């Protein structure tokens, strides 16, 4: 029990803090007019504040302070200390977290352009890499030899963190979806980190899980507040950070894929969106109605049911990730392949990789036909549907 007590305290502190701060975050969002108002591409039928990231950030800040000072008052071991062979400066890493949070906060208020957000994300990634959070070498699972990444160490680390930040941000499309998946993923990473004796990563993971759970009280359907980019980007960046802490400096190639399995849902949603838009001959950054939650709702699920289905899918992937840590290399690869195949067929059933097609009645001929996103009439038909059945927030 003594070993688990510090983590229970961190989880409870983060959860309670998020519960208490979320109403305050809502008031701040209203005051600065960071509010999602009903319109064609939004899911809400009434104005809803979108600065939920404030609650997540404050909850993490409280546990961060506790890790350096508060836990000593309870005569419990200080858990935010990496093993000696790993050198991560947590003051610098904390600065990276602040940068990603502020970037999201500015977007919630001013709606930054994509390249402006990307600059903030890259800056946060660079600062994190400067703290010592890098993947320097990979162990070849077939030969056992260590392959140094050399000069690619820092670019790969930054790219990884930016990618993780965005896949969570992009999946934030239904009430409670990103925060719930964030909670499930961080709990899984806690179990994996604790088992690997990476107690610093475990401490951060359990803190994030508590923060997400506390916020979920207000964010689950019907939501009274949205995460906003300040929240979804923060959760994504933290998950990327925690997963890297588990493999800092040297990692087996098959070990690296485990955090990717944990984030399988947002990764698949992002990957399928790119394929779908390329096949539809439109920009990969163009929003569409082909995401997983759109397809589930098109199948007849309501918002809450669609989110629960995605929670269940995430749990299955997380269980698979845990099992992968308990077996040898070959079974690990087999499990990974099976999870990919099952997820692919599930995605194919939902038509995730197919371009979004809409019915359009040709005014000249009066005939009804299916059109793709590159058709000039597509936007007009999409706007008609969005006004009838809005699905985004």
Mean pLDDT of 18-37: 97
At residue 376's C-alpha, the angle toward residues 374 and 378, to 5°, is 75
Contacts of 91 (CB under 8 A, 6+ apart): 131
- Show the tokens assigned to 37: 């108002």
The whole-angstrom separation of Cα 233 and Cα 84 is: 30
The whole-angstrom separation of Cα 102 and Cα 112 is: 12
pLDDT of residue 17: 99
What is the pTM for the complete model shown?
0.88
The whole-angstrom separation of Cα 178 and Cα 199 is: 25
- Domain positions in the chain are 5-349, 358-388
Helix locations, 246-289, DSSP H: 253-262, 264-279
Residue 184, Cβ neighbours under 10 Å: how many? 21
Residue with more model confidence, 373 or 89: 89
pLDDT of residue 92: 94
Least confident of 98-107, 238-247, 285-294: 285-294
Report pLDDT digits (tens) over 214-233.
Answer: 999 999 999 999 999 999 99
pLDDT of residue 366: 53
Report pLDDT digits (tens) over 107-159.
Answer: 999 999 999 999 999 999 999 999 999 877 777 666 667 777 888 889 999 99
- Show the tokens assigned to 186: 């961080």
Report pLDDT digits (tens) over 257-272.
Answer: 888 898 999 999 999 9
Q: What share of the chain is helix, strand, coil (3-state, %, to 5)?
A: 65, 5, 30
CB 42, CB 389: distance < 8 Å: no
Report pLDDT digits (tens) over 281-306.
Answer: 777 877 777 889 889 998 999 999 99
Per DSSP, 366 falls in state -
Contacts of 361 (CB under 8 A, 6+ apart): 367, 368
């Amino acid at each position: 029990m003594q070993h688990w007590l510090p983590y229970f305290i961190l989880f409870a502190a983060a959860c309670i803090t998020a519960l208490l701060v979320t109403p305050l975050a809502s008031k701040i969002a209203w005051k600065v007019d960071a509010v999602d108002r009903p319109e064609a591409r939004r899911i809400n039928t009434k104005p809803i504040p979108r600065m939920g990231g404030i609650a997540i950030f404050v909850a993490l800040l409280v546990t961060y302070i506790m890790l350096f000072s508060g836990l000593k008052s309870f005569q419990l071991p200080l858990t935010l200390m990496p093993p000696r062979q790993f050198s991560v400066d947590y003051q610098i890493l904390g600065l990276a977290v602040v940068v990603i949070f502020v970037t999201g906060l500015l977007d919630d208020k001013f709606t930054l352009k994509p390249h402006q957000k990307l600059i903030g994300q890259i800056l946060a990634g660079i600062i994190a890499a400067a703290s010592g959070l890098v993947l320097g070498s990979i162990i070849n699972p077939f030969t056992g030899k260590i392959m140094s990444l050399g000069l690619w160490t820092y670019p790969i680390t930054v790219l990884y963190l930016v990618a993780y930040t965005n896949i969570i941000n992009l999946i934030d499309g239904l009430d409670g979806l990103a925060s719930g998946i964030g909670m499930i993923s961080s709990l899984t990473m806690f179990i994996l980190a604790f088992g690997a004796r990476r107690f610093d990563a475990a401490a951060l993971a359990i803190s994030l899980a508590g923060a997400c759970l506390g916020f979920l009280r207000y964010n689950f359907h019907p939501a009274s507040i949205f995460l906003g980019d300040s929240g979804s980007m923060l959760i994504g960046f933290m998950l990327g950070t925690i997963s890297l802490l588990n493999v800092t400096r040297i990692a087996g190639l098959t070990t690296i894929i485990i955090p990717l399995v944990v984030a399988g849902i947002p990764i698949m949603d992002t990957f399928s969106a790119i394929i779908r838009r390329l096949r539809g001959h439109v920009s990969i950054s163009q929003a569409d109605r082909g995401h997983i939650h759109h397809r589930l709702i098109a199948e007849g699920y309501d918002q809450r049911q669609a989110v629960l289905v995605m929670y269940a899918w995430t749990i299955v992937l997380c269980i698979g990730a845990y099992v992968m840590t308990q077996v040898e290399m070959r079974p690990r690869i087999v499990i990974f392949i099976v999870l990919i195949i099952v997820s692919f067929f599930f995605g194919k059933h939902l038509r995730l990789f197919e371009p979004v097609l809409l019915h359009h009645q040709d005014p000249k001929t009066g005939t009804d036909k299916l059109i793709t996103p590159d058709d000039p009439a597509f936007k007009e038909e999409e706007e008609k549907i969005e006004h009838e059945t809005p699905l985004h927030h």
